[in-house]
Amino acid sequence: MSEGYLDDRLIGQRFTITLGDLLDGVSFYGIFYHLRATTSLHSGDLVEVTAATAHGLTVKVVTPHRQGD
């Protein structure tokens, strides 16, 4: 298994951001990752992982959380 294989499996993964994810990072397979994005992330946003490294996950917002929901 090549280095980075676990991280590469996360590309395309979708999940809904929680407050804990924003504060502490997100955990997959027992590994915590910091989140990075080119836009602001908010609790409730549905995001997709576009890149993954040992230093963090880059995500893009697929469906933003709507205010008042």
- b or e along 16-49 (b: 16 or more beta carbons within 10 Å of the residue's beta carbon)? ebeeebeeeebebeeeebebeeeeebeeebebeb
Q: Give the pLDDT band of residue 5 (cuts 50, 70, 90).
A: low
Reported as a single tens digit per residue, the pLDDT across 15-30 is 999 999 999 999 988 8
Residue extents of the structural domains in the chain: 1-61
Asked whether the whole model's pTM tops 0.75, one would answer yes
The domain 1-61 having CATH identifier 3.40.50.261: the answer here is no
